[in-house]
């Protein structure tokens, strides 16, 4: 490849690699979000819900408050997940959360928000809380 008449060896390969990596990252994050949005709404069992439907909306609001904007409030997130008693509770929380976010953050599912805002140790803590409540679902 020539830039301003000078031959730059390896630049084409470098640019090609960058394009491929960017594309892979973009597609990977997109498919990940798409999969997270559709997790198990059909698997919600009305008889296994621990709270009124309105309560899941309140809890979903708390999680959005905890993740939106700079940083995140992990304790608030853990507190919500400590209230989960069944897999259906978690799936209903995710359904009530839906796809949320302001124009500057973009709309995402609950799972995508957690994946984007929490580090691996914090995700592990959420999963530990779920497991300790005998919930098989993991983020
Ligand atoms: Ca955040």
Out of 3.40.50.2020, 3.40.120.10, 3.30.70.100, 1.10.220.10, the CATH code matching 41-132 is 1.10.220.10
CA of 77 to the centre of ligand 1 (A): 12
Enumerate residues 6+ apart whose C-beta is below 8 A from 115: 32, 36, 123, 139
Host H or E run for residue 2: strand 2-3
Whether 108 shows a pLDDT value over 50: the answer reads: yes
CA of 84 to the centre of ligand 1 (A): 22
Residue spans in the chain of domains classed CATH 1.10.220.10: 41-132
Whether 119 shows a pLDDT value over 70: the answer reads: yes
The reported pLDDT for the residue numbered 37 is 41
The band of 18, judged by pLDDT with boundaries at 50, 70 and 90, is: low
CA of 10 to the centre of ligand 1 (A): 39
The reported pLDDT for the residue numbered 2 is 67
pTM beyond 0.85: no
Average pLDDT over residues 133-139: 95
Whether 33 shows a pLDDT value over 50: the answer reads: no
Whether 97 shows a pLDDT value over 70: the answer reads: yes
CA of 64 to the centre of ligand 1 (A): 9
Q: Is the dihedral of CA 20, 121, 138, 68 positive or negative?
A: negative
The reported pLDDT for the residue numbered 12 is 75
CA of 116 to the centre of ligand 1 (A): 8
Average pLDDT over residues 84-92: 97
Cα gap 133→130, rounded to integer Å: 5
């Amino acid at each position: 490849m020539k830039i301003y008449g000078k031959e730059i060896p390896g630049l084409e390969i470098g640019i090609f690699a960058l394009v491929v990596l960017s594309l892979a990252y973009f597609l990977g994050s997109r498919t990940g979000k798409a999969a997270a949005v559709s997790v198990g709404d059909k698997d919600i069992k009305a008889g296994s819900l621990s709270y009124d439907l309105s309560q899941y909306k309140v809890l979903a609001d708390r999680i959005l408050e905890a993740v939106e904007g700079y940083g995140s409030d992990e304790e608030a997130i853990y507190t919500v997940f400590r209230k989960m008693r069944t897999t259906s509770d978690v799936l209903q929380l995710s359904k009530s959360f839906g796809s949320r976010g302001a124009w500057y953050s973009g709309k995402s599912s609950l799972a995508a928000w957690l994946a984007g805002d929490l580090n691996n140790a914090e995700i592990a803590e959420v999963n530990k809380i779920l497991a300790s409540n005998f919930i098989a679902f993991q983020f």
